[in-house]
Amino acid sequence: MSENVFDLIIVGAGPGGLTAGIYAMRAALKTVLIEKGIAGGQINLTESVENYPGFENISGFDLSQKFMQHAQSYGLEVVQQEVAAVEPGLEFHAVRLANGELLKTHAVILATGGSPRKLGVPGELEYYGKGVSYCATCDGFFFRGKNVIVVGGGDSALEEALYLAKITCRVYLAHRRDAFRGSRILQERVLADEKIEVLWNTVVTEVKADGQGVHAVALKDTKTGAARELAVDGVFVFIGFSPNNRLVPAGTRMDHDGYVMADEKCETNIPGIFVIGDLRQKYAKQIVTAAADGCTAALAAALCVEMKKAGQACPAHRG
Ligand code: NAP
């Protein structure tokens, strides 16, 4: 790493983190963005993005590459490292890396997003990668011409069911209620797709497999309680996300689901520590709102850094 004292450290290279990087560089903040995996985060798992303004249809991977190229065109330093801890301080916050390195910074933006929520049924984790998947774009190819079940009723489940219907023989879409949560346009496409069979009021209670991989799921009707078995080769789970809040410092306000509460500047109750994107408690978790958070937090961080350098405290949380 080029330095070990920064104005701003951004953790996570999804749409929020990279947008924060663009704004931070334009505000001339000495910034580093740290990402443990590949840039893009969750959007890399999305086959096609149709609601990011300016792009009628673009793959999640291509969009994340564009965000990265844009940020790096301003000279943003992106480091592939794992962050072990964020430790708040009065003058500087400390960011401890897994390799033992200690970085100091006036402000931190946490953009660590979320991870797919698990069903928590027998067989799910045992057969992850052997028939159970949380990413249709990554694994759909292996189920070409086969039968799969998608679980969930939100935008992710609907989008991924549509994607899988193009590849597989048949898609069963199991939703625990009798109405989808996802957007109307996706609902209409799913219901019009002859290869998708919706199983309303249905939950998966077990993933069944043998030496050859997954061969069936046990299902339960949530209204009648009736149980049955359905032969499938793959199980795709899209039942929402859990926030990746491991690095959120102790004492930061969170809701009961583990999302971080922040003010309109995306600042937490710890001055100089900001949260953006899917980690933040908010109404709409979209690429465009993650990017908007990135802008807001970087502009607010720039003000915070300026005040700290002038010997004043960062503006405190007003919520
Ligand atoms: P979500 O909107 O939270 O939907 C999760 C779905 O899974 C819900 O239908 C929920 O059922 C169901 N579910 C939750 N726990 C379950 C369980 N234990 N067993 C069975 N079903 C369960 O999650 P998401 O679809 O991943 O979307 C997350 C956010 O990203 C949303 O804000 C969404 O709009 C956004 N997103 C947007 C796009 C897009 O605009 N193109 C694409 C993907 C995601 P209930 O409905 O009964 O609660």
| 3-class secondary-structure state, position 265 | coil
193 part of the active site: no
Residue 181: CB within 6 Å of ligand 1? yes
Q: Are 208 and 217 in contact (CB under 8 A)?
A: yes
Question: Which residues pair with residue 237 across a beta bridge?
Answer: 151
pLDDT of res. 1: 64
- The pick from 46, 150, 155 for probing ligand 1's pocket by mutation, whose C-beta has the most ligand atoms within 8 angstroms, reads 155
Atom of ligand 1 nearest to the CA of 186: 41
pTM of the entire predicted model: 0.81
CATH topology of domain 5-115+241-309: FAD/NAD(P)-binding domain (3.50.50)
- Residue ranges of domains in the chain: 5-115+241-309, 118-237
pLDDT surpassing 90 at residue 56 = yes
220-279 pLDDT, tens digit each: 999 999 999 999 999 999 999 899 999 999 999 999 999 999 999 999 999 999 999 999
Q: Which two tokens stand for residue 14?
A: 């999804």
Does the annotation count 135 as an active-site position? yes
Catalytic pick from 7, 62, 138, 221? 138
Residues forming beta bridges with residue 54, ordered by sequence position:
none
Q: Name the β-bridge partners of 133.
A: 236
Contact between 269 and 319 under an 8 Å Cβ cutoff? The reply is yes
Q: Find the 283 Cα to ligand 1 centroid distance in Å.
A: 13
For ligand 1, the distance from its centroid to the CA atom of residue 233, given in whole angstroms, is 23
**Where does 118-237 sit in CATH, by number?**
3.50.50.60
The per-residue pLDDT for range 102-147, each reduced to its tens digit, is 999 999 999 999 989 999 999 999 998 889 999 898 789 899 999 9
3-state DSSP assignment of residue 11: strand
